[in-house]
Chains A and B, each alone.
Chain A
Amino acid sequence: MQAVFAYDKLNKEQMKKEWGNPMNILSKTTILAAVLALGACSSADRFGNSDAVDLNNSGVAGGALAGSPQDPTSAAYFQQTVGDRVLFAVDQSTLTPQGMATLDGQAQWLSTNVEYSAVIEGHADEQGTREYNLALGARRANAVLEYLTAKGVAPNRMKVISYGKERPLEICSEESCYAKNRRAVTVISVVPTS
């Protein structure tokens, strides 16, 4: 049996980075658990070549394991396949066309999976003062909230929070890292937000 990761829509470089990132222990564990549950993997390289992954033949007969990334109603699926984050330009909280496309997917997913609510986390890179970045992160999270609201997601299913520059995903002090840290992440759960 082949382990399948439906991460075709996710930037693979980013996936690799995040896997190697201690911040993502939780998601790592989740995915790892899914891998184990699926049994022995024949895939040589989980993150390397997408050629090794046959997305059309998942081998998960009769549907995906509940909660696994293959289960289209799972949080893992939302995170990896729908895409849980949008990125922003320096100092900006304006959504990019790519960001809007991701959010369209999020809105659609949330309209199907009504038991989930979302906390939208706004983040900034380390350039800028602590206070300003907190406010900027809030702007970014709110831009996502407004977009999702316009796409039909009920506002009472969503909450925003800003972490400013307190929770960087990437730790280098270069634009390659900053670009990934200027983000708004939609974190979903079945726990009611209020």
Chain B
Amino acid sequence: MMKHVLTLLSAILFGLAAPVAAQERDGPLRIEITEGVIEPLPYAVPVFVADTAAAAQHAQNITQVIAADLSGTGLFREIPDSAHIGRITNFASPVQFPDWKAINAQALIVGGVSVDGAGRLTVRFRLYDVFAGQEIGQGLQLQGTVDGWRRMAHKVADQVYARLTGEDAYFDSRVVFVAESGPKDNRQKRLAIMDYDGANLSYLTDASSIVLAPRFSPGDNQVLYTSYESGFPKIYVLDVASAGRRVLETQQGTMSFAPRFAPDGRTVVFSLTSGGNTDLYTMDIGSGRTSRLTSAPSIETAPSFSPDGSRIVFESDRSGLPQLYVMPSSGGEAQRISFGQGRYGTPVWSPRGDLIAFTKQSKGRFHIGVMRTDGSEERLLTASFLDEGPTWAPNGRVIMFTRESQGAQGQARLYSVDITGRNLRKVPLDIGASDPSWSGLQK
């Protein structure tokens, strides 16, 4: 059963003076996604009305992307055009709600697209609660260049998602990752960036040296990654816009990897290996000054900051097998938080701060899981031959990760899964891919 939350949404959010009495429930249409929603909410998004012939193709494309975003969450189900009774021919005309009720569309998205002489694209939309016969929130108009049409479509879908779920959205976001090609024993790797849905793929490095685990900076304008460019694993920082890069020099003769930005965007935490032993360090990216956070004969790696910057979760085998630990971001005593059977790695703090995603290896299988930051309420979301390297959607509700298939022909692919464990999906991308890092919502 779909759950419609019967609480009233704030009139401020909707920009309405007072909520109009609904016909079949006390409040506006809303889908509650924190608990087990099994039945996706049916919606209709008739092709946006094109004001001019030049806008027709964009209207078609934009509508498709909006539907793919919404249906891709597993929370919404599109009622296809072929089932529609009503036709939207004018964005400004009143909606004939009975036509949409008849096909059981709970939500209706109506939009218009125009392209002006200067090549500027305008997208307008309204979201309706069909059974209440009223608009949800205010109509919105977006304007931009024609080649920004995908982003505008994602922005519309983000608005719909946010209004119907009460959660922050995530469609207008990007993912930096490692594109892979070639056989397993001669794999070529290069940094690549794409929209969250696999569109707009472009490359940031060539395949001349191994690159690993790119991570966005807090503002998403820079990427930290590990490269063998010098013949030796070192950390680089790359400017996304220019693809210019520079090495972060650590000690001579040491190997550095697993970098991640602190929320301040100036500090980088990473692993440094010296004399065969791997510990955690931070570096001030401006001055290049490093300080040591751990000093143990064990392996300390895969560090990730809490969103407030006060703590670091990391992986260590100090107990014998790799487990997860949390320590103050300045170093000091660490608390072990993982106690289940198996090995834990690659912990990543949720942008909401409430959960830690991780890789777990147990009985020959790999899992992506989440736990609370004290280690309680561990839940495994996936299982396969090799799942690893989770990254959080900007709203902390979806996790993307690497899944590598078994055997000599094994290939790495990106998948996403809801933190409820539902809606496991392959990211639509034709190439091999690993080590995703999800950006924040684009401004």
Chain A interface (Cβ within 8 Å of chain B)?
Answer: 21-23, 91, 93, 126-132, 134-136, 138-139, 141-143, 145-146, 159-163, 166-173
Contacts and interface: CB of A to CB of B under 8 A. Distances in A.
Given A129-B345, A169-B185, A161 B271 contact: no
Contact of B299 (A139, A145, A166): A139
B257 interface: yes
A162 B302 contact: no
Contact of A162 (B186, B273, B435): B273
Contact of A171 (B257, B302, B410): B410
Contacts of B388: 129-130
B406 A173 contact: yes
Interface string B299-311: 1011000000000
Contacts of A139: 276-278, 299
A167 B435 CA distance: 16
Given A22-B183, A161-B232, A167-B185, A127 B361 contact: yes
Contacts of A126: 386, 404, 410
CB-based closest 7 A-B pairs: A142-B276, A129-B345, A135-B278, A135-B299, A171-B184, A171-B408, A138-B273
Given A129-B388, A130-B212, A171 B185 contact: yes
Nearest to A122: B276
Interface residues of B, number: 44
Contacts of B201: none
B301 A168 contact: no
Contact of A160 (B276, B278, B408): B276
B223 interface: no
12 contacts: A22-B186, A91-B321, A128-B345, A129-B315, A132-B302, A132-B322, A134-B257, A135-B271, A135-B299, A142-B277, A161-B255, A162-B273
A168 B276 contact: no
Contacts of A131: 213, 257-258, 271, 301-302, 315, 345-346
Contacts of A127: 361
Contacts of B255: 134, 138, 160-162
Contacts of A145: 276
A1 to B, nearest CB: 34
B359 interface: yes
Interface string B181-222: 001111101000000000000000000001011000000000
Contacts of B257: 131, 134
Given A143-B276, A162-B255, A170 B185 contact: yes
A21 B185 contact: yes
B315 A161 contact: no
Interface string B254-266: 0101100000000
A172 B185 CA distance: 10
Contacts of A163: 210
A127 B364 CA distance: 8
Interface string B128-153: 00000000000000000000000000
Contacts of A171: 183-185, 407-408, 410
Contacts of A130: 212-213, 346, 388-389, 435
Contacts of B345: 128-129, 131-132
B212 A135 contact: no
**Best-surrounded residue of B185, B232, B359 (most CB of chain A within 10 A):** B185
A11 to B, nearest CB: 18
Contacts of B183: 22, 171
Nearest to B212: A130
A166 B258 contact: no
Contacts of B386: 126
Interface in B376-404: 385-386, 388-389, 404
A160 to B, nearest CB: 7
A125 to B, nearest CB: 11
A53 B361 CA distance: 46
B94 interface: no
Nearest to A126: B386
A24 to B, nearest CB: 9
Contacts of A22: 183, 185-186
B257 to A, nearest CB: 5
Contacts of A128: 343, 345, 361
A176 to B, nearest CB: 12
B275 interface: yes
B407 A173 contact: yes
A75 to B, nearest CB: 18
A131 B385 CA distance: 18
B40 interface: no
A128 B408 CA distance: 17
A146 B186 CA distance: 29
A136 B359 CA distance: 17
B359 A129 contact: yes
Contacts of A143: 276
A132 B301 contact: yes
A190 B360 CA distance: 43
A136 B255 CA distance: 12
